[in-house]
Chain A
Amino acid sequence: GAVVSQHPSWVICKSGTSVKIECRSLDFQATTMFWYRQFPKQSLMLMATSNEGSKATYEQGVEKDKFLINHASLTLSTLTVTSAHPEDSSFYICSARDRGLAGGLIYEQFFGPGTRLTVL
């Protein structure tokens, strides 16, 4: 099946620093990637949708200047948490939609393993 990787899997940083999380589709091209955040005992919440070569679309309440998303190629999207603070500590998961399945099954969205961010 399609594989999506995330790097790093776990990161600890000091308050005020920036952290970059990478999401890669390893064996398919993804025109669309999604970024989710999950707090403990809460559901996955969509943060933004990123389309290759264009600006990301952010969900209401998500600060676009704080969570910078770049989808520079069909296999890579990055999420940069700028000036991270302890309240940004969370589990971040990306998912990708296979370009070859565009217009096909809507659940064909493959998830990465997630990145645990801890801000001290």
Chain B
Amino acid sequence: DQQVKQNSPSLSVQEGRISILNCDYTNSMFDYFLWYKKYPAEGPTFLISISSIKDKNEDGRFTVFLNKSAKHLSLHIVPSQPGDSAVYFCAVYTGNQFYFGTGTSLTVIP
């Protein structure tokens, strides 16, 4: 049973515009949420995180929003750059383990 869902397998965005990646989770008790970025032939690397006590966390061009009532998480990248093209995984951390989404492949078009 998928605890974390990313319903969009792919997304294409023009360079300079905003990229919005979405993630839904099933358990309202989850308390720590993360986004990972993965390039081909490399392992995922940590990007940004947010705890359930916040609804927004910003780090440079990357902002993560958390809507607890909707059990929804989103990652905004502004402005998008070609180097941002990668697969993005959302994850939740609970009970000493991670649950990952299926990933969204982002392509930023120059």
Binding site for B on A (CB under 8 A): 4, 9, 36, 41-46, 49, 93, 95, 106-114
Whether B32 lies near A106 (C-beta < 8 A) is: yes
How distant is A84 from chain B, measured CB to nearest CB, in Å?
22
With A106-B32, A107-B34, A109-B98 already in contact, the answer to whether A43 and B4 are too (CB < 8 A) is yes
In the bound complex, residues from chain B placing their C-beta under 8 Å from that of A42 are 102
* Total contacts A-B at CB 8 Å: 47
Whether A114 lies near B46 (C-beta < 8 A) is: no
- Among B45, B46, B89, B93, max chain A CB count under 10 A is at B46
Whether A95 lies near B43 (C-beta < 8 A) is: yes
With A43-B102, A49-B97 already in contact, the answer to whether A114 and B34 are too (CB < 8 A) is no
Whether A110 lies near B43 (C-beta < 8 A) is: yes
- A sample of 18 more A-B contacts (CB under 8 A), given A44-B98, A107-B34, A108-B46, is A4-B43, A9-B41, A41-B102, A43-B89, A43-B100, A46-B97, A46-B98, A93-B44, A95-B43, A106-B32, A107-B46, A110-B43, A111-B43, A111-B45, A113-B41, A114-B41, A114-B42, A114-B43
